[in-house]
Structure formats: structure tokens, C-alpha cells
Amino acid sequence: STKTYNSITYSWSGFSFGAGGTWGKYQYSYNNSSWVDAGQNTSHTRSSLSPNTSYTLYVRLVDNYGTASAVASVSGTTNKPAVPSKGTVSASSITYNGAKLSWSGFSFGAGATWGKYQYSWDNSNWTDCGQSTNLTFTDKSPNTSYNFYVRLIDNYGQASGSATVSFTTKKPAAPTKGTVSVSTKTYNSITYSWSGFSFGAGGTWGKYQYSYNYSSW
């Protein structure tokens, strides 16, 4: 009649005595084990059960002469635990190509256990990461916004809601300057040459610019 993740309440009715018989008692049994007296009760709650598991109850009516009725039976399956609760996720140590993502505060529903964490970059395609509570990524593009998602999966395959954080990778370090020199001169021209400039990690072309006396570039 009612079920939780670790209990089932069974109810019965419709039994009757043969002519001349009277009380007696009800008796119940699990999986044809020993019979247990239930007096005149018409329900019984069995607790401390495993979640998402089927249990069968057998019931019979015994009259005042010790004669038992035929056995009635019913199977009931305990509920799964409540789904896990989501926690929070944060980003730190943000660089031009990634960040450290950390999460906490997730919890299992009563009766559930591990499980695993999963992460996603699109809240759709998920990657298992076991019981880790932080990951560092270094494969992202500079100066780009990302959404990162984490969820907790219990031992019944049930998922929590997705916790999410948004972060933007940094720009690469500015290029480093090189040197410029005069290579050739005439009475009305100068040829300049430069070398030794380099991009910061994660940077690429780009272009050179030149200016005379710090005028426009």
C-alpha cells in the first residue's frame, strides 16, 4: 500500500473462515520463510530493506482449529532513493588556456551511495571523473568564455541537477619586444630591419606595426 526506499507496507483483505470456524489469526511470511503471527492485524510494514529491490509477502488466515487458508501473495519493490542534491562549482587559477574547476556541497539521497561525478562543457555530453572534486584544464582558447557543469550520479544511476560556473580565459601575455636597426641609407631613404620579437604563450599572428617618432602606428 505504501513504499519508501527502505520499507514497504503490505495490506490484505477478503479472507474468510469456513463454516463453523472463527478467529484464529493471520500469519505472514517472506519468500516462504517461517510463518509469523500477526493476530487480527490486516497490514504489516517491513523496514530496513534495500532500495529498488523486490520483496514478496505471503499471507494466510488460520482459524480456531489451526486450519490455514490458501496462501495469498504480493510482490512490492522499494523505491529508489531521492536523487542526489546539487552543490556548487567555482573557477580559480584562470590562465590564457584554462582554469582550475572545483566543486563541493553535493549529497546523496538517503539510501544511496557512490556513484561518481561527471562534468560537461555543454550540459549535454558528460565525462566521468570518479570521486575527484577538482580538475585543471589547459586546452582552452585564450580570451574565450566557457560554461562548466558538474553533476553527481548515485549508485542507482540517478543524477543531481547540474551545478555550473562561467569563466573567461585571459589574453596571452603581451608580445616581447625585439630590436630594430638601420640596414641601409641613401641621401633620401633609410631601410630599417627588426628581429627578436616574440609572442606571449598562446599568442600568434598578428602583425607588425611601425611609427615615426611615436606618431600614428
Report the pLDDT value the prediction gives residue 207, as an integer from 0 to 100. 97
Compute CA 70 distance to the chain's CA centroid, rounded to the nearest angstrom: 48
State the pLDDT at residue 214.
85
Q: What is the mean pLDDT of each run of 10 residues along the chain (217 residues)?
A: 94 96 96 92 96 96 96 95 98 97 98 97 98 98 97 98 98 96 94 96 94 90
Task: State the virtual CA torsion across 199, 200, 206, 210 in degrees, nearest 10.
Answer: -60
Q: How many other CB atoms sit within 10 Å of the CB of residue 212?
A: 7
Looking at residue 168, its pLDDT comes to 98
Q: Which of 156, 100, 162 is nearest to 132 (CA)?
A: 100
pLDDT at 1: 78
Q: How much is the pLDDT for 64? A: 96
Q: Which of 6, 2, 3, 8 is nearest to 57 (CA)?
A: 8
pTM score, two decimals?
0.82
pLDDT score of 31: 78
Question: What's the pLDDT at 58?
Answer: 96
Q: What is the pLDDT of residue 161?
A: 98
